[in-house]
Every structure is written in C-alpha cells, then in structure tokens.
Amino acid sequence: MNQDLFITGTDTGVGKTLLSALLVAALQRKYWKPIQTGACEGTDQQAVMKWADVPEDRTCPEAYIFNPPLSPHLAAEEKGIEIDFERIRRPSSSSPLIIEGAGGLLVPINSKQLMLDLTIHLNVPIVIASRTTLGTINHTLLTLAAARNARVDIRGVVMIGHESSENRRSIERYGNVPVIGSIPWLDHIDGSTLVSVFKQYFDARGFE
C-alpha cells in the first residue's frame, strides 16, 4: 500500500472527506486537500484531523484556500486570481497521500481546466465516493465515463450511506467497476471507528 490516491466524488457533499479520513486512519497515510473552498465554515483538513484522530503533521497545507463555499473557479474569481496548476505540486512526503478533490470530476478549477485535469496533472489513481441513495447509479456511471474518457486509473467505488444492494450490483454491472468499500451510517466518528469500518466493509486489495 504505497501509492497516492485521489478521492473524488459523484457530487458535492457525497462523503469524500469522511472517506479520506477513513483511509488516513486505516492505511496510516497523510492527507492533502490541494484546493479548499468554503473555509469560512471550517476546512476539510480540520475535519480529517478530528475524525481520524491525527495530528497536523499527518496532513499537508492546501495549495489554495478560499473562504466562500463556491466552485474553485468562482471562489478564485471573487478573490481576483486564477488557480494555476504550476502552484499545485505534490508535497514533499515519503508517506503516501490521500488527496481529496473539491466536488466532482467536472467541477471547473479555472477558465480552462476541470478537477479531472488535476487528477491527470498529479498522475494518481482515483477512488470514487458515491451515495447509496436514488440517483447514484446515473451519477456514478457518468463519473466513471468521464474518468475513462480521460484514461484515468480508477481503483473502484466506495458507497456511502445506508446499504442498497441493488444499487451496488447495478453500479458494478453497468459501470464494470468493483465496489471496493462501503461506509454505513455512523452515529459516532473517530479513528478507531473508521479503522473498524475499513476492516469490516472494505476490500483491502483495492488499496494496494
């Protein structure tokens, strides 16, 4: 288990940060969120530190951070700048990284580039976080299609929420992709809980 992973999602608020925290805790990796928006409401770095029970030195600083809860390109425009990929370089770390994107793969980052382009720029495989609820099949298949069209390495899908075996089977069948983990509804989140979820609900082979 020695390779960086990029956590993307089928939508905003799907559970990317929770999945990132789980993988940081279970795989003993560092966390990095290259582009953070909505910092006025708290950062995902702070959430990962709390949920995974890790100190700040198990995380890396953002390349860009914006207060408004907006798409990266809009948050940058509001600040009068444009996000430049040349400023987004992998942090110097011997530990593999869990890298969390902002929103889904087709979220704009600047006037020409999308979050999908950032995964290509960083040259890392992706794990897709998806909901278990109605609509997830369509959203997940669209995300898979976008990634495959760009020849991005897809490790698999992690479904988040109350179990839906039919949706899981449909995603695996029509998406031709393994569901390599699931996160059930959690009443309490801490590092030990997340490690237990990984051991019980994840296929560790998908993260090797």
State the catalytic residues.
33
Q: β-strand 126-131 against 154-160: which pairing, if any?
A: parallel
Q: Side-chain half-sphere of 145: how many Cα atoms within 13 Å?
A: 7
> Residue 70 CB: number of other CB atoms within 10 A?
15
Are 108 and 82 in contact by the 8 Å Cβ rule? The answer is no
- Give the burial class of 138: count Cβ atoms within 10 A of its Cβ; 0-12 exposed, 13-18 middle, 19 or more buried: exposed
* Ordered strands of the 126-131 beta sheet: 59-60, 30-32, 97-104, 5-9, 126-131, 154-160, 179-183
Question: What is the rounded CA–CA span in Å between residue 136 and residue 142?
Answer: 10
Question: What is the rounded CA–CA span in Å between residue 52 and residue 192?
Answer: 8
